[in-house]
Structure 1
Amino acid sequence: MKLWLFRGIALSVPVLFFLLLEYGLRWGGLHQSWPLFIANPAADDYLLTRPDVIKRYFPSGSAVPHVTVEPTFFLKTKADNGLRLVVQGESTTAGYPYGLGASLAGMLDQRLKRTFPERKVEVINTAMSAVNSFALLDFADEIIAQQPDAVLIYVGHNEYLGVLGVGSSYSSSNSAAFNLLYMKLRRLATFQTAQDLYQQWQLPQTQQDTGRTLMARVAQGQHIAFDSDLYHAGLQQFEQNLSLLLDKYQQAGVAVYIATIASNIADQPPFVSEALTAQQQQMLSQIQWPEIRQQLEQMANAQHHAALSYELGQYYRKTQQHSEALLWLTRAKDFDQLRFRAPSAINQQIRQLAARYGAVLVDVEQAFIRQSALGLVGKSLMLEHLHPNVQGYFILADSFYQQLKRQQFAGRWQRVIEPQVAWAQRPLLPAEEFAGAARILQLTSDYPFVPQPQPLVLPAAKDWQQQLGLDYFHGKISWIRMLELSYQGYQQRQDRAMLLKTTLILADALPQHQQLNALAAAMLRQQNRSAEAVFYQQRAELATPR
């Protein structure tokens, strides 16, 4: 009896010491917390997504990616007639390079508000660049706490090079289990303090070259061969995290809509590949001969040769052989050793996991294929390797909208907003589109699109809207100021359609602004859209006058 008592005391001493240390550090203000949702300082009735939530994965003083969540506002207490959807994903889901208006959340929000004018519709964005399935899993409990009616997911491209990915420069381990443990430990004051002390003892870190793009900083040397151990580790990581994520939502009774993902296969050559040999180049000059093509195909498959596969795909594309072109251009992407585009196996996993956990599949990849010449997704819908242009973003959001309609999500759909109407009312201004185009020029002027960074050369603005976009890109004006100046410009030109669009974007960005929301309601009534005006009128009544 005494022996067991002694053992019990011996075991409890370190536990008690740790608890005292943990709560002592918290009491002393040495615990940092980065919740996904925070109070809106301008209006107590609202919460918003925390812009700098990425910091929760990094110790103080370390190099943190310069990425943020574009915040969306939603009621702290969900309305009785509320319809709340939460969007999860990466940079494409977040609407890069255009911002929230092109994002899945932004495109769906106003369309669903028009579809369900009698409901308080909230589409909440949690997507941001640089993250992957680890962040989605980490956010899940906080999302469930907000009582969503559905979660919409578009994810998969950052599994290798995103934060904590198996090939990422923002990860200290290739083990998914270790990274899951790390995310839990980061919530403890004791672990945070130990990390901070370790950072201080280390030699000063080389400062990040802020002139380089995020892709350039994470891409150098991060080559992962097809069928390698790291390649399979990335797939295992994705399956494990997505399984845990979908299981959480299933257990909580939250509907999930998860999409296949699309990328540019037709016009994006592989970033990293074995060079073509002199023999292969000679054979490519004779590719019209069937026996030569057969030999080249055997070489491409045996060597997992991305560049050779791309050349084969382009030959079949040129000769209008659609299925063969799709096959070899897809293999070129899969064999690409710089894994910014998800391999085809990721979409296979998405399909399988959706079926296993009862999630609704949204086949975005097929939607892009249907809208592409010869069924080959390329520059007609993509800006570079995987980010869609505005039309592409609309297709992505419309795919979710149509699947929500087919599933009769939230009951019978009596007011369906047709694509042509939704396209005309998309919540994106020309100034934002021009700023987005400038960001793409900036992105593609650095590695891996070019061997060495090139001077950024931007086109001159052709009108006042583009000038506003250029000023916003250069940081001369804020996003809100850009919208305010756009409003003034459309008012001067008596452009009622654009004036209404700008007003609605501003009202949704500033839900606590009484005058803006009252103005939005009045303008909607003038357009005989009284049912939609109710939402903004009620929000104006809730708001405190500025």
Structure 2
Amino acid sequence: MKKNLLVAFVSILATLLLLESGWRAYYFLRNRNAEPEGAFALYAAGESSVAGFSDMSFVSVLERLYSGGFAGRKLYVDNLARRGFVAYYHRTAVRRAISFRKRANPAALIIYTGHNEPPHNPAITGVQKLWLRFGEPLAAKSYFLSDMLYLLWERGILQVSAPEGHEWYELQLRHIIETARANGVQPFIATVASNMSGADPSLKLDDEGKFLSLARPGWELERKGRWLEARDYYKSMLEHYPAYAAHSHFRLGKCLEHMREYDQAREHYWLSADADPRLCLGKVDSIQTGIIRKLAAEYKIPLVDVVSAFEKNSLHGIMGSTLLGDGQHPNTDGVALLADVFSAALASGYNTPAAPPLGSAQGLKRLMKTDSDYDMKAHRGHLASLLRYSYLHKPWAEAAYEHAREHAAALKRMGAWDPLNDYYYFLLDHAPEMDRILGCRSGFPAGVLEDMSPPMEYDELSRLYSKIVSGEAPCSWPVSRCPSCMNI
């Protein structure tokens, strides 16, 4: 019996070693000559803010800025970003892309991620702590086990992360940094900008009616311009109803902005981000920002302080809709600023002249030689994101709703309005019908959000939409809130 167990153990071990060797050989053959000989390689890891929209990202802008070369070498760019994914994916993507690369080529890795992480919750279980402390680092040393665990995670079969908590986020950033350095790639880690004043926080409500009854008196005071009274009301609400802290801090920020108490307003916006349950369009909070700064100092790697740059270039030093199109994605001015900030950081890191700064969206458009087609795609991309945000946050997401209307109006001026855009407004303003057809409040189908393509439910929703517009079916929202009924 013991002999059979020993044989089985040795067989399993031999199989694992064989698989590990095969996995490493695969990455060696794939990556060894992926970069052009003598090039400077620039990699980027992150979410949709790095992936960009309509073939436009700050990474593609950097590629165009240094099309003539960087640090005396031809520039090779590999944008590893993927929309909607957490840092665990980005860590996997980085390892798969740069393992066993030729270290003779100088290389840099931009790390800009954090919006898609779950909210901070320090109360993780003992088993999760053991996994984070021992199991996960051990598995990370094996290419085969890492890929298998990732595959199981991606398929939803296995939970390999803490369900909530920034410990997991920090661990993934550490893996990314260490993987980069082990393969001769210089990491440039960046703080992450969010729309603090222009996008309402999400709320996890057990009783929506109770929340509305509590919040509406404050909203009414704001509507009347009674900012001091509204401020005191939200302070009281914050004290007695801490479950609504994200909303109360956000409204306090709004009141303090109107009272010209900008430093205090900024503080409350950050506190709102810290309390946000992140049901949609998560803002990077102060804990994550602190982790990023800590890791830059600990590993002695360049810190690209995007947050400071965005605050410096925002009205009253508060990140808002002047540089961000929705809760987290940069608008064209924001893309230009990101490109300028990273360009300066890379040039400083390699002691090479920086490209002339773009300065604004106009400089970006001149560089990229974009036309109205880009503007149209940009407006549509922001409209889709804002309407998804508004749908999941009704009825208190008025700020995002108004920004969506602005993008829609721009599309109409450009003659680029089409039935699909009307369709977005239908999805936004007829929530009960949306719930009935899709069966949940999980947001728009991916096809609508990513590719602006009709989703599977298009025919059924289109028929219902036509009935509502024609009056054959009732509209479930007041006319004052329904763009379709208002013929916008």
Give the TM bin, normalised by the shorter chain. Answer: 0.5 to 0.7
SS in 2 for 1:305: helix
The change in CA–CA distance for 1:445 and 1:321 in structure 2 (over 3 A counts) is same
2:285 & 2:211 partners in 1: Cα distance? 22
Confirm or deny: 8 A CA contact 1:435 1:473 kept in the other structure.
Answer: no
Matching of residue 270 in structure 1 with residue 205 in structure 2: no
1:368 & 1:325 partners in 2: Cα distance? 16
1:300 & 1:373 partners in 2: Cα distance? 32
Taking only the aligned residue pairs, the percentage that are identical comes to 20
Matching of residue 435 in structure 1 with residue 377 in structure 2: yes
In the alignment, which residue of structure 2 is the partner of 1:121? Answer: 75
In the alignment, which residue of structure 2 is the partner of 1:242? Answer: 173
Confirm or deny: 8 A CA contact 1:257 1:362 kept in the other structure.
Answer: yes
2:244 & 2:395 partners in 1: Cα distance? 23
Unaligned runs of 5+ in 1: 1-5, 40-46, 48-73, 167-172, 200-228, 477-546
Provide the alpha-carbon RMSD of the alignment. Answer: 4.7
2:18 & 2:218 partners in 1: Cα distance? 70
Of 392, 395, 408, the match for 1:448: 392
Unaligned runs of 5+ in 2: 122-127, 422-449, 455-488
Confirm or deny: 8 A CA contact 1:305 1:335 kept in the other structure.
Answer: yes
Confirm or deny: 8 A CA contact 2:45 2:110 kept in the other structure.
Answer: yes
The change in CA–CA distance for 1:135 and 1:429 in structure 2 (over 3 A counts) is farther
Matching of residue 359 in structure 1 with residue 301 in structure 2: yes
Confirm or deny: 8 A CA contact 2:231 2:255 kept in the other structure.
Answer: no
1:295 & 1:465 partners in 2: Cα distance? 45
Shift of 1:159: 1.5
The change in CA–CA distance for 1:20 and 1:377 in structure 2 (over 3 A counts) is closer
Shift of 1:292: 3.7
2:249 & 2:174 partners in 1: Cα distance? 32
1:88 & 1:281 partners in 2: Cα distance? 42
Of 5, 14, 20, the match for 1:10: 5
Listed one character per residue, the Cα deviations across residues 425-479 of structure 1 (whole Å, up to 9, x for unaligned) are: 0364431331232233233334324479x9x996666569999x99x96669xxx
Of 330, 353, 374, the match for 2:316: 374
Confirm or deny: 8 A CA contact 1:273 1:307 kept in the other structure.
Answer: no
Which 10-residue stretch deviates more, 173-182 or 132-141? 173-182
The change in CA–CA distance for 1:114 and 1:14 in structure 2 (over 3 A counts) is same
Of 426, 438, 442, the match for 2:368: 426
The change in CA–CA distance for 1:395 and 1:37 in structure 2 (over 3 A counts) is farther
In the alignment, which residue of structure 1 is the partner of 2:189? Answer: 258
What letter corresponds to residue 79 of structure 1 in structure 2?
Answer: E
1:77 & 1:262 partners in 2: Cα distance? 31
1:466 & 1:392 partners in 2: Cα distance? 25
Confirm or deny: 8 A CA contact 1:273 1:305 kept in the other structure.
Answer: no
The change in CA–CA distance for 1:295 and 1:266 in structure 2 (over 3 A counts) is closer
The change in CA–CA distance for 1:466 and 1:258 in structure 2 (over 3 A counts) is farther
Aligned residues between the structures: 379
The change in CA–CA distance for 1:38 and 1:450 in structure 2 (over 3 A counts) is farther
The change in CA–CA distance for 1:192 and 1:247 in structure 2 (over 3 A counts) is closer
1:279 & 1:449 partners in 2: Cα distance? 16
Of 314, 320, 337, the match for 2:254: 314
Shift of 1:250: 3.0
The change in CA–CA distance for 1:8 and 1:426 in structure 2 (over 3 A counts) is farther
The change in CA–CA distance for 1:241 and 1:350 in structure 2 (over 3 A counts) is same
The change in CA–CA distance for 1:432 and 1:289 in structure 2 (over 3 A counts) is closer
In the alignment, which residue of structure 2 is the partner of 1:104? Answer: 58
1:366 & 1:256 partners in 2: Cα distance? 19
